Amino acid sequence: MTQITTKRNPNAFLREDYQDLVSKALNWNLHRLDSGSLPHSTVDGKKVIMLCSNNYLNLSNHPKIIKAAIQAAKQYGAGSGSVRPIAGTMKIHFDVEEAVARFKHTEAALIYQTGFATNSGLIPQLVGEGDIAISDELNHGSIIDGVRLTKADRAIFKHRDVGDLEKVLREADKKYRRIIIISDGVFSMDGDIAPMDKIVKLANEYGAMTYVDDAHGEGVIGPDGRGIGAHYHIEGKIDVEMGTFSKAYGVVGGLIAGSRDLVNFAYNKSRTWLLSGSHPPAVAGAQLAAIQVLETEPQHVRNLWENTRYFKKELSSLGFNTGNSETPIIPVMIGDSAKAKDFSNGLFDEGIFALPIVFPMVARDKARIRIMMNAGLTRKDLDFALGKFEMLGKKFAII
């Protein structure tokens, strides 16, 4: 065994690793939001058009949702006082879960503290030793971490490639007790949609469970924004529809929707749910109101898609590559990470807040500006932004 003769410096490697990221233009620079998450926000003291928020439907500042949060806090207090299984389940928590199940046309639903807590807490309970988890190669990091926490074997299928998935299933069919197929619904870096109708059909043939992370589909795709199940007209047929309130719904919190058996299993087995404090009443009140707004005000989803179609069409006509996006996530492909960061800085100087996505979130040569469209933006806002993209696209020799 090698003897350590020098004194360890715990902070030294932290500093060195960070500086290495900076030297490769792979570090995140945190920006400060000085206003609410609005179409016209104030970031680092500068007024900008917001093009990188997950607040797709502009619900974070909806007056009905704010009012509901205040009323819930007045009625139930500032906090829940406990974890859900002991003394932290209030009537309003049940009300939200009933509303989610109704909205998504499933038997039941369960609310988690965050979307990440949902994936990291539930996936390890659904499969274990003697089982296999089969994942799309571009799945979100929270899915990857959830799978890593299992004792199950793991396999990958090519992105959205149902033929490759069937090859993996055929090999796994006779070897494993349980098989789970896990995919994002809307892929957050490229904005494309998983072929869940075909995946569900294939899963049924092999007796596999289906699990979809629909974080970027909730409130966005499908009739009235009911998500990927509604999008493919397979509501109630996906075993686990996972989602989040922190994006289109404008609040915070994870969710699952599916059978009553799924929910009963999850709240008895999933440790992130069992051992985390429940949402403050204000959060639950806002969650409930967000569902009610979507049920009664279809204009938000309609406006989001009108803005998306217009902006994507105009970007393409300017000569930008927007990849295979099918949703309000619009990647503007730049390539080099340093150039993507410079492009984003140029946009900020011109009053547009749209951040670069670089390695390791995407491949080294696939850096991009990721636009997240917002229902609250006007045509004037979009045209202003398009003008700045055109100017910088020419400056950086991208178009």
* Residue 308 domain-assigned (yes or no): yes
Q: What is the pLDDT of residue 237?
A: 96
Q: What is the pLDDT of residue 1?
A: 58
Q: Which structure tokens are listed for 239?
A: 């075993």
The answer to whether the CB of 88 falls within 8 A of the CB of 277 is yes
Residues 370 and 247 in one domain: no
Does the pTM exceed 0.85?
yes
Q: Which of 248, 281, 296 lies at the terminal end of a domain, its last residue?
A: 296
Instruction: Identify the domain containing residue 89 by its residue range.
Output: 63-296
135-171 tens-digit pLDDT? 999 999 999 999 999 999 999 999 999 999 999 999 9
Q: What is the pLDDT of residue 25?
A: 72
Residues 285 and 360 in one domain: no
Q: Which of 296, 315, 331 lies at the terminal end of a domain, its last residue?
A: 296
Active site residue 159: no
Q: Report residues of the chain scoring pLDDT below 50.
A: none
271-324 tens-digit pLDDT? 999 999 999 999 999 999 999 999 999 999 999 999 999 999 999 999 999 999
* Residue 235 domain-assigned (yes or no): yes
The answer to whether the CB of 250 falls within 8 A of the CB of 60 is yes
Q: How big is the chain by its Cα radius of gyration, in Å?
A: 22
* Residue 9 domain-assigned (yes or no): no
First to last CA, the chain: 58
Relative to beta strand 46-50, strand 356-357 is: unpaired
Domain of 38, CATH number, reads 3.90.1150.10
Which residues make beta-bridge pairs with 272? none
Domain of 211, CATH number, reads 3.40.640.10
Residues 241 and 223 in one domain: yes
Active site residue 188: yes
- The DSSP code sequence of 331-377 is EEEEESHHHHHHHHHHHHHTTEE--EE-TTSS-TT-EEEEEE--TT-
Give the SS3 label for residue 181. Answer: strand
Find the catalytic residue in 62, 104, 140, 216: 216
Distance of alpha carbon 51 from alpha carbon 330, whole angstroms: 10
Distance of alpha carbon 35 from alpha carbon 45, whole angstroms: 9
Q: Which of 296, 312, 332 lies at the terminal end of a domain, its last residue?
A: 296
Residues 121 and 228 in one domain: yes
- The pLDDT > 90 percentage for the chain reads 90
Residues 48 and 173 in one domain: no
Q: What is the pLDDT of residue 89?
A: 97
Residues 97 and 176 in one domain: yes
Residues 274 and 213 in one domain: yes
* Residue 7 domain-assigned (yes or no): no
* Residue 12 domain-assigned (yes or no): no
Residues 77 and 152 in one domain: yes
Residues 273 and 320 in one domain: no
Residues 237 and 356 in one domain: no
Find the catalytic residue in 135, 188, 246, 325: 188
Instruction: State how far the alpha carbon of 114 is from the alpha carbons of 197, 225, 284, in Å.
Output: 26, 20, 13
Angle at which helices 299-318 and 379-395 pack, to 10 degrees? 30
Find the catalytic residue in 93, 140, 231, 247: 247
State the total domains in the chain.
2
* Residue 264 domain-assigned (yes or no): yes
